[in-house]
Chains A and B, each alone.
Chain A
């Protein structure tokens, strides 16, 4: 894409215009520019002159940018409500991911450990041991990677919208804290043969020094892993702005 459009793209994204609107706008501008250039060449201009004339006819950078930025319905949710996108949505996504993890655990409990009081204590025996082991290990992997995956999604959204670091950092800190303090409780009801009960709690740590330091370390690990792609992108932007 031509250099003027790269600059326009950056301006629009930084102004909060949604990436899909920016992409479509620039595609149509590129097509329009090609038509104008062809028209100018048919009129007898050289290729360089035709290019210059076409760019002038297309409009100045300020006009092209203003036409998009002054219409509110082209704004992305990152631009309209960053507090919701980076303060609320990641927590809701992570809560949803943990809900799926609990469901997965409950199914494994019912299938592989029907007699155990909790899914964490019993060990299945017999030919299903291997299958059960794979099942529960996959669940554990999903459970521990969920906050990191949500963080990467958040980082991708922030990078696509060329956001400054404040909102993504807030979102990543919240995710790290939620992920580090998440605790699963599983117990069977006192009714014989009754259903197992699984619950979770977040954002609190038992007030012992060991728990607090473990929680902070866990949060730091999640934050570092989740923030890594965003950090790499920021460094890339700093050293290679046109990339």
Chain B
């Protein structure tokens, strides 16, 4: 039997996708990112806010984000912005999630089986 790509964990890649999408528009620091996720998803996606930092650091380590320290209102913060590699990763994740969401939507609405999710 031929091997197939599977999605063992539906939440895999969601934090990365949301973060990359947000910092694509403007550079942000951790607290801003978490608040933006909460506001734009109407708090549907809620996690312990501190766990955003390992994701940010991981993305930075992969070269998808870059950071710089900036002092605003006498407070020093680390701002994150997207890199060209991050933009490519965002495009891949977006496509993958759009396909997945379409497939699930078709299932829920009783449509035909969707295309294989890559």
Which A residues have a C-beta under 8 Å from some C-beta of B?
21, 24-25, 28-29, 31-32, 35-36, 57-60, 63-64, 67-68, 71, 73-74
Contact = CB atoms under 8 A, between A and B. Distances in A.
Contacts of B55: 67
Given A31-B31, A36-B31, A21 B57 contact: yes
Contacts of B54: 25, 67-68, 71, 74
Contact of A59 (B50, B57, B77): B50
Contacts of B114: none
Contacts of A63: 47-48, 50-51
Interface residues of B, number: 18
B41 to A, nearest CB: 16
Contacts, number: 55
Interface in B63-85: 75, 77-78
Interface of B: 29-31, 34, 47-51, 53-55, 57-58, 61, 75, 77-78
17 contacts: A21-B57, A25-B53, A28-B30, A31-B29, A31-B77, A32-B49, A32-B53, A59-B48, A59-B50, A59-B51, A60-B48, A63-B47, A67-B50, A67-B51, A67-B53, A67-B55, A74-B54
A64 B48 contact: yes
Contacts of B49: 32, 36, 57-59
Contact of A29 (B50, B58, B77): B50
Contacts of B61: 73
Given A59-B50, A63-B48, A32 B30 contact: yes
A3 to B, nearest CB: 15
A21 B54 CA distance: 9
A59 B30 CA distance: 14
Nearest to B15: A67
Given A25-B53, A31-B77, A68-B54, A59 B47 contact: yes
Contacts of B29: 31
Nearest to A21: B57
Given A32-B50, A59-B49, A63-B51, A24 B57 contact: yes
Q: Which of B29, B31, B34, B61 has the most CB of A within 10 A?
A: B31
Contacts of A36: 31, 49
Contact of A28 (B47, B58, B75, B78): B78
A60 B47 CA distance: 10
